[in-house]
Every structure is written in structure tokens, then in C-alpha cells.
Amino acid sequence: MENIVIIGNGIAGISAARHIRKLSDKRIVIVSAETDYFFSRTALMYVYMGHMKFEHIQPYENWFWEKNRIELVRGYVNKVDTANKQLLLDSSRALHYDKLIIATGSKPNKFGWPGQDLHGVQGLYSKQDLDMLEINAPNKEVCKRAVIVGGGLIGIELAEMLRSREIPVTFLVREDSFWNGVLPNGESQLINEHILEHHIDLRLGANLKEIVADEYGRVKSIIVQETGEEIPCDMVGLTAGVSPNIGFLQDSGIELGRGVKVNRFLETNVKDIYAIGDCAEQHEPIGNRRPIEAVWYTGRMMGETVAQTICGNTLEYKPGHWFNSAKFLDIEYQTYGWVFSEKGKKEEEQHFHWRHATEKLCITLAYHKDSNLFLGINTFGIRMRHEVFDRWLTEGRTADYIMEHLADANFDPEFFKHHEKAIIAAYNKETGKSLKPKKKSLKRIFQLT
């Protein structure tokens, strides 16, 4: 019986295992040093905030794995011996494979800051990080102030978590506006305001110089690079992005860049070895996508794709149109297609931005300035239908068409009873057009339900 070994039990590895089992009777072994069972990493914050228990974020019952004949091995892989097709676990035991899937995910970035390994300094990625947070910041009596370093999605999640326990937070963001390497300026400014309104001490254009220890080797304070200011704190969250977790592969003969190099079929340079999820790096980016995508749904898609290949139906990884969603405190964010920041915007890309006068609601529509071709949309505080925008991108609709039919994509029709006319009026004023919202036909209503 062919022996399939998967390193990593995140969404990518588990998706591969589940689909291999659906398609075959191969032996499947999953190796993980993090937890016994798969859990939803994106829901870790809700455990700390008291909305859920850890067992609630495990999608499958414990008996699921035995019933589906998926063997779980708790251990850390020290080395991959590609010549003998073996893994060395915990420097003491070996595990043979016929085919190997590397799905080891990411690890928080550290940039050599003095004091970055002190007690009280941590990231927010793993179950162990969650456990450590309960030690470092259980309440405002133990943690009188926390400092978060890095202005991405994980950073704002951690800020929300800590504020849920009334812990004061200082947030160091090196950019001059929050996440403005990804978001257009209007959206970035909206998030700046929202962070401050949630009583978070947002420091823009601020870098960490060093983390200072007390006499017991714990965090005492941090020093800001630009001003030399010392900020007393009991906990430091390092959330300046993540990197592929591939250190154990350095001498394996598997080609590495920032991640594990793979082709469009998710194959490495070594026969019978594949890489998927956050740790996989495409030799050439797919369209406008980055070579490494640390995104939940792409990990799932890679797992499903590689399962087909391993089971004899060789399949190219085709992730389709870009989409993503997140939450900035209590503002929901969605993006479909491509809306680049001011720094990354292409010459032909035109933006239409609308923001509500008083509420934290906005959209940014990107389109080709010559052809009016719809390129993408960002929404904040407005829930949109993925399947509708996916279809419009495939059909090559224009920005005018999107504006006329925007209500068709909205999850909450009540929103457009109040604001649709204002959005189209603003678009018309900016473009010199006279568009009007199209009424839904019965045909389109049935298409959307």
C-alpha cells in the first residue's frame, strides 16, 4: 500500500488528507508538532476573547480521523532524507514515505531586534502562542500595557483581543498609514481612525529599536527607533508578518527560496515530494498573485489539487480570481479582483472611492481607465456576494455595469435602500456619466438565489 505522509495539520495538509481519502485507500499519515487535531487557526482570537472554547474551533470530532483511517503522529520533523525517503522525527525515530506533502505553514517574522527572545515576547500564529498569551496577558492586572509591533491583519487581531480584556495597547506601525502597502489611501485612513476610536495608541511611522529586559529576564519596556521614547510594557506582540516554516529542509536537496519552490502542479524538484499552503512558493507568480500566499482558502485549494495529482488525476493549481476577507475590529473587509494601493497601482488602473459621511462604510472600485473594464472592488462594512463578483470578473464586465447592478451582489439589500443612489451619484459626478441603478429582473433574482 502506498504510504502518503503529510507534514503539517493546518488547512492545507488536512484538505489534502481528506481528499486523498475520498479518492483512494492509500495509507495516510499526518505529522504535526503543534496539536493532536486540526483546528481553525483564524478562530484562535475568539477563544481568547471568550466567544468560543478551543474544542469549538476543531471542525471534526476526535473519532473522525480513525474512522477515515488517517493516522496522526505528534512529533517534530528534524530532517527529510530524500535519498532514503524517510523523515527523522524528534531526532530519534524515522518514518518512511512513498509520497511526501510538505504543509508546514508559516512562522512569525523576527528581524534581530535586541530582546526579541525575552519572556513576554511572542507572536500570534500557533496554539502554543494562544497558550502563552494566557500567561503573558491574562488580564490588565498582570499586563498593564502591551506593545504590538507590525501593522498587518494579525497585529490588529491581537490588538482587538487584548482590548477585549481592557489591556492598554500601543501599536507600532512602520508605515505612515495603516496597511497602506495593500489598501488605497482612503481605506487606510478609515482604518487609522477606527483604531484610534477603539482606544488603541496607534503610532504611525514608528519602528521598534529594542526590547528592554528587567532583572528577571522579562519584558520591561520597548524603545522606539525614531524618537528614542521608552514605553513601559509587560508584553510585546511581534506581528510583523510571517515567513514559510522551512528551516528543517535546509540540507534536504529540496529547492528553496523564501518558501519551498513548486511548479504549477505543486511539485518540488524532488520526485514524489510536493509543497502546499503558506510554505509553498511558485517559481513564477500566477497572474497578479504573490509567489507565496498565506491565505486560508488558497491552502484549502492547494490541498484539494495535490490530492487529485497524488491519486492519478494530474491537476494544475488554478486558484481563479483573487478574493479575500478580514475584519478590522468590527469592520468587515472584502476584496474581489485587484485593487492595488497607491504604491502598487498600475498606470492604467483608475479608482473610484466612496465613503459614507458619518458611518464606517466605504467601497473602492478599480477599473481600466481606457476600456472601463472592471478590475476589482474593496468593500468595508458592506457584505458582498463572492459568486457574483467572481462571475462578473469572468464575464469581463465594465465598471459602469458593476455600478448599475451593484445591488445584485449585496448580502444586505437594506444597505442599498439607503445608499445606492448616493454611490452612483458620486460615480456619475466623478466620471461625467448619468448611470442609474438597474432594477432586478426575475431572471437575475433566480440566478442569485
DSSP 306-331: HHHHHTT--------S-EEEEEETTE
In a domain? residue 220: yes
In a domain? residue 371: yes
In a domain? residue 69: yes
Which residue do the cell numbers 477563544 mark? 47
In a domain? residue 368: yes
Name the domain count of the chain: 3
Examine the domain organization and report whether 439 and 327 are in the same domain: yes
Provide CB contacts within 8 A for 172, sequence distance 6+: 147, 148, 149, 150, 151, 203, 206, 207, 208, 222, 224
Examine the domain organization and report whether 374 and 262 are in the same domain: no
Task: Give the span between the Cα atoms of 80 and 106, in whole angstroms.
Answer: 18
Examine the domain organization and report whether 50 and 129 are in the same domain: no
Looking at 310, 336, 353, the residue that finishes a domain is 310
Looking at 310, 343, 366, the residue that finishes a domain is 310
Examine the domain organization and report whether 329 and 418 are in the same domain: yes
**Tens-level pLDDT at each residue, the chain (449 residues):** 899 999 999 999 999 999 999 999 999 999 999 999 999 999 999 999 999 999 999 999 999 999 999 999 999 999 999 999 999 999 889 999 999 999 999 999 999 999 999 999 999 999 999 999 999 999 999 999 999 999 889 999 999 999 999 999 999 999 999 999 999 999 999 999 999 999 999 999 999 999 999 999 999 999 999 999 999 999 999 999 999 999 999 999 999 999 999 999 999 999 999 999 999 999 999 999 999 999 999 999 999 999 999 999 999 999 999 999 999 999 999 999 999 999 999 999 999 999 999 999 999 999 999 999 999 999 999 889 999 999 999 999 999 999 999 988 887 766 555 687 889 999 999 999 999 988 664 445 445 44
Find the CATH number of the domain harbouring 367: 3.30.390.30
In a domain? residue 315: no
Examine the domain organization and report whether 337 and 425 are in the same domain: yes
Give me the domain span that covers residue 228: 121-240
**Cell representation of residue 400:** 459602469
Examine the domain organization and report whether 196 and 126 are in the same domain: yes
Examine the domain organization and report whether 381 and 303 are in the same domain: no
Examine the domain organization and report whether 91 and 192 are in the same domain: no
In a domain? residue 114: no
Examine the domain organization and report whether 265 and 156 are in the same domain: no
Examine the domain organization and report whether 144 and 185 are in the same domain: yes
The pTM of this model reads 0.94
Looking at 240, 263, 293, the residue that finishes a domain is 240
